[in-house]
Structure 1
């Protein structure tokens, strides 16, 4: 009597690996569990696959899932907002004036990528600036940026 791997074995194996990700939060075991579910589908479609072919296909499928995640998808999800970055890291960032200051109202500046979690900030500038001028952050005072005109 020989033991034959059925598709449901791969379903159970894949689900166990996916559930193991809850205990070991590395987000790598998940892809091997997904590879197991892919193998369940393959074995269901082609039930005569040998165990060695199944294991090689599982390893290749799992590796491709992991590679696709770490090389293609994960870089797209990186937070590029500078939120949580020390204030010194944003000094020197350049933005464009969208509302010129007129006392007692402060001006508004917009950045192409958010600075400290927001892309529009109130600002104070010692020089006269007009809408469309480029300014550079020199200091942060509470919720207001202190800027200078970009020369």
Structure 2
């Protein structure tokens, strides 16, 4: 029954398939179904005028869908790696590297805490008394690695 319907539709099956893919793109966005839908519509146009046979139509659909997706991935997608005016926005610990701060509490056995602005940070470094000046040498996750500042 379904097979007979698909055969009777002829080239229109590609238009219907393409529109179904485009409607599915609305429900599950990600632009993959968009390019497959457009490829199906192009194959429908080809099948409407040339009637190349279903094998050629399927190969053309696969080739056009792949070519459209690759072309979009290579040339059309937005550049999300653009320079930001706040490059350390989501890397808060790393933005303190190189800065000098004063310890409010001592570092004992290599571990301590330091207050920067309104945040208390865990610090790791040599044992130092409260009030010592330290330079942030790096970050290990949410722990600031500090060294004594001369």
Q: How big is the alpha-carbon RMSD for the aligned residues of Structure 1 and Structure 2?
A: 2.7
Q: 1:41 to 1:73 in 2, by over 3 A?
A: same
**Partners of 1:18 and 1:30 within 8 A in 2:** yes
Structure 1's consecutive aligned runs of 4 or more residues displaced over 4 angstroms after TM superposition are 87-91
Q: CA deviation at 1:77?
A: 3.7
The reply to whether residue 63 of structure 1 matches residue 66 of structure 2 is yes
Unaligned runs of 5+ in 2: 97-150
Asked which structure has the greater CA Rg, the reply is: 2
Alignment counterpart, residue 80 of structure 1, candidates 79, 82, 89:
82
Q: CA deviation at 1:79?
A: 5.4
Matching residue of 2:111? none
* TM-score normalised per structure 1: 0.50
Q: CA deviation at 1:78?
A: 3.1
Q: How many residues align?
A: 89
More strand by share: 1
Q: 1:80 to 1:15 in 2, by over 3 A?
A: same
Unaligned runs of 5+ in 1: 92-151
The reply to whether residue 14 of structure 1 matches residue 18 of structure 2 is yes
Distance 2:57 2:95 in 1: 52
Q: 1:90 to 1:61 in 2, by over 3 A?
A: farther
* TM-score normalised per structure 2: 0.50
